[in-house]
């Protein structure tokens, strides 16, 4: 994606393709039609860099963003994002004034939270979260209507209602259908402003689109249900490193901590500046690999906090070679499968030491 690493950059970096981000957004918009798109940029935009990603998406006409907490929302406001920002995890005590100062749309999940926000006397916009079956956060049907009534006459304006699909990536649609029916029945008839429930996997349900959809992982290039949602997206982030050292070692040489790997032949090894502090899991010790010149380079020994050692005996590499930790051929879904986890976790785990370079 880039031909030369900019000078002064530590040789472990992540390239974020803005052109791919734009293409993915376009594909999503075509799929959802009249429904608007709310871009989920919590957790530093799933590791892609929330500020730069949001600035670019706002340039493309995105009018809604979702974050996890007040701090994430305030950071976007401080960096020129003037679109609506919805805070999904609510407002902790003492942060009501900050939410109002930065004009953040807050989520209300309980009657107690509602009463506290009213008592703060801050002018706020709020989306009410209905618990349609996930049982993580959200109001019951009775409490949803109670909160709406309590807010009448207060300085808090209800501008939206939403819920969250817990099982939209499962082949069996029954529970998701039940959630959709509950949400629609409880919020139908007006008085709640905009309504939204669909996440990335929820795009498979045409009746889940409502006024807008909240897209996260699919925006960054990973379709959680490719057989169900006909949206072609590509990974936005590539993660790379250049070696700190390349050396020849004789047969019988121990590699890394605890000597868990001993070479069985004369070998050539490269030390890369990426470790578990950067999000490259320690579980890849003696089992993971990276790519160089399109060829597999196995991890030898333990993954350490800051470095790994890989076998380059059969690969023609130099100190200028770019080793790919994540690319199109080996992306976050592949690493996740090897780790027994999900692409979300792999992307969010990439540490801040890997400088984000926007292409």
What local confidence, expressed as pLDDT, does residue 191 receive? 87
Q: Which residue, among 107, 109, 64, 110, has the nearest Cα to 83 in the 3D structure?
A: 64
Q: Indicate the pLDDT class of residue 175, thresholds 50, 70 and 90.
A: very high
Positions marked catalytic: 42, 257
What local confidence, expressed as pLDDT, does residue 143 receive? 97
Predicted confidence (pLDDT) at residue 5 exceeds the cutoff of 90:
no
The residue-averaged pLDDT of 192-204 equals 97
Task: Go through the domains of the chain in sequence order and give each one's CATH number.
Answer: 18-215 (3.20.20.10), 237-358 (2.40.37.10)
CA distance 39 to 213: 8
The residue-averaged pLDDT of 133-158 equals 96
The residue-averaged pLDDT of 123-152 equals 96
∠ CA 343-8-5, rounded to 5°: 55
What local confidence, expressed as pLDDT, does residue 190 receive? 78
Q: Indicate the pLDDT class of residue 337, thresholds 50, 70 and 90.
A: very high
What local confidence, expressed as pLDDT, does residue 1 receive? 53
The residue-averaged pLDDT of 311-326 equals 97
Decide: 7 and 13 in contact? Cβ < 8 Å.
no
3-state secondary structure of 75: helix
The residue-averaged pLDDT of 342-359 equals 97
Q: Indicate the pLDDT class of residue 277, thresholds 50, 70 and 90.
A: very high
Predicted confidence (pLDDT) at residue 304 exceeds the cutoff of 90:
yes
Q: Provide the CA 31 distance to its chain's centre, in angstroms.
A: 20
pLDDT digits (tens, 9 = 90+) for 204-237: 999 999 999 999 999 999 999 998 999 999 999 9
pLDDT digits (tens, 9 = 90+) for 180-191: 999 999 999 878
Where are the extended beta strands (E) located within the chain? 12-16, 36-40, 64-67, 84-87, 105-108, 124-129, 156-162, 194-196, 212-215, 237-241, 245-249, 254-255, 261-262, 267-272, 289-292, 295-298, 308-311, 323-326, 355-358
Predicted confidence (pLDDT) at residue 51 exceeds the cutoff of 80:
yes
Distances in whole angstroms, Cα of residue 102 to Cα of each of 24, 74, 92, 121? 29, 6, 15, 15
* Token representation of residue 341: 């986890």
Average pLDDT, the chain: 96
Predicted confidence (pLDDT) at residue 9 exceeds the cutoff of 90:
no
The residue-averaged pLDDT of 78-85 equals 98
What local confidence, expressed as pLDDT, does residue 8 receive? 73
* Token representation of residue 105: 């749309």
What local confidence, expressed as pLDDT, does residue 10 receive? 87
Per cent of the chain over pLDDT 90 is: 96
Sheet arrangement for strand 84-87:
194-196, 156-162, 124-129, 105-108, 84-87, 64-67, 36-40, 212-215
pLDDT digits (tens, 9 = 90+) for 83-125: 999 999 999 999 999 999 999 999 999 999 999 999 999 999 9
Predicted confidence (pLDDT) at residue 340 exceeds the cutoff of 60:
yes
pTM comes to 0.94
CA distance 137 to 134: 8
pLDDT digits (tens, 9 = 90+) for 235-266: 999 999 999 999 999 999 999 999 999 999 99
3-state secondary structure of 5: coil
Residue 321, CB-side half-sphere exposure with 13 Å CA sphere: 23
What local confidence, expressed as pLDDT, does residue 4 receive? 58
Predicted confidence (pLDDT) at residue 3 exceeds the cutoff of 60:
no
Between helix 141-151 and helix 174-187 the angle, nearest 10°, is 30
Predicted confidence (pLDDT) at residue 326 exceeds the cutoff of 80:
yes
């Amino acid at each position: 994606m880039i031909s030369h690493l900019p000078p002064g950059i530590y040789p472990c970096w992540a390239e974020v393709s803005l052109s791919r981000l734009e293409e993915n957004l376009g594909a999503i918009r075509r799929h959802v039609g009249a429904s608007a798109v709310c871009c989920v940029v919590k957790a530093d935009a799933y590791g892609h860099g929330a500020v730069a990603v949001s600035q670019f998406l706002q340039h493309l006409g995105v009018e809604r963003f979702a974050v996890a907490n007040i701090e994430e929302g305030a950071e976007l406001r401080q960096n020129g994002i003037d679109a609506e920002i919805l805070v999904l995890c609510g407002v902790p005590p003492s942060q009501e004034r900050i939410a109002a100062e930065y004009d953040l749309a807050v989520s209300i999940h309980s009657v107690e939270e509602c009463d506290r926000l009213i008592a703060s006397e801050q002018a706020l916009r709020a989306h009410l979260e209905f618990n349609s079956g996930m049982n993580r956060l959200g109001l019951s049907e009775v409490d949803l209507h109670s909160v709406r009534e309590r807010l009448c006459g207060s300085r808090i304006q209800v501008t939206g209602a939403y819920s969250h699909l817990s099982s939209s990536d499962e082949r069996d649609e029954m529970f998701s259908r039940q959630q959709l029916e509950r949400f629609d029945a409880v919020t139908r008839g007006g008085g709640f402003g905009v309504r939204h429930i669909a996440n990335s996997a929820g795009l498979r349900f045409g009746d889940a689109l409502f006024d807008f959809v909240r897209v996260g992982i699919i925006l960054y290039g990973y379709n959680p249900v490719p057989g169900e949602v006909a949206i072609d997206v590509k990974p936005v982030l590539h993660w790379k490193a250049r070696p700190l050292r390349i050396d020849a070692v004789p047969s019988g040489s121990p590699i890394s901590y605890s000597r868990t790997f001993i070479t069985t032949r004369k070998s050539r090894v490269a030390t890369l500046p990426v470790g578990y502090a950067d999000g490259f899991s320690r579980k890849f010790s003696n089992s993971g690999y990276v790519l160089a010149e399109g060829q597999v380079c196995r991890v030898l020994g333990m993954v350490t906090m800051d470095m790994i050692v890989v076998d380059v005996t059969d690969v023609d590499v130099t100190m200028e070679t770019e080793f790919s930790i994540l690319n199109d051929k080996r992306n976050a879904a592949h690493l996740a499968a090897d780790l027994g986890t999900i692409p979300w976790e792999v992307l969010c785990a990439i540490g801040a030491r890997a400088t984000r370079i926007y292409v």
